[in-house]
Amino acid sequence: MRFGPNWPKVVQAQAGSRMQTLSAKDAKYGFGRLIDLARAEPVAVAKHGRPVVVVMAVEEYERLKALDQRKSPNGQEDQT
């Protein structure tokens, strides 16, 4: 499969950092590439031009989950 010069597109994330983003179609047809990219850094997947999900390495997910559990007492989610 060949990808055009604009694949993956890079967009400005709200937090000011840059995150690669793929259309849902590109993510579907280039799933192996999406996995490779996501192992290096989180990748946003967009539908109709709007980011809807982020794909990331399981190690990064586990790191973020551990940080979140440290913030809330007893490791429980806030119900607010």
pLDDT category of residue 56 using cuts at 50, 70 and 90: very high
Q: Residue 33: is its pLDDT beyond 80?
A: yes
pLDDT recorded at residue 13: 44
Q: Is this structure's pTM higher than 0.75?
A: no
Over residues 37-52, the mean pLDDT reads 96
CATH node for 9-73: 3.40.1620.10
What secondary structure does DSSP assign to the chain, as a single string?
----TT-SEEEE-TTS-EEEEEEHHHHHHTHHHHHHHHHHS-EEEEETTEEEEEE--HHHHHHHHHHHHHHSGGGPPP--
Q: Residue 7: is its pLDDT beyond 70?
A: no
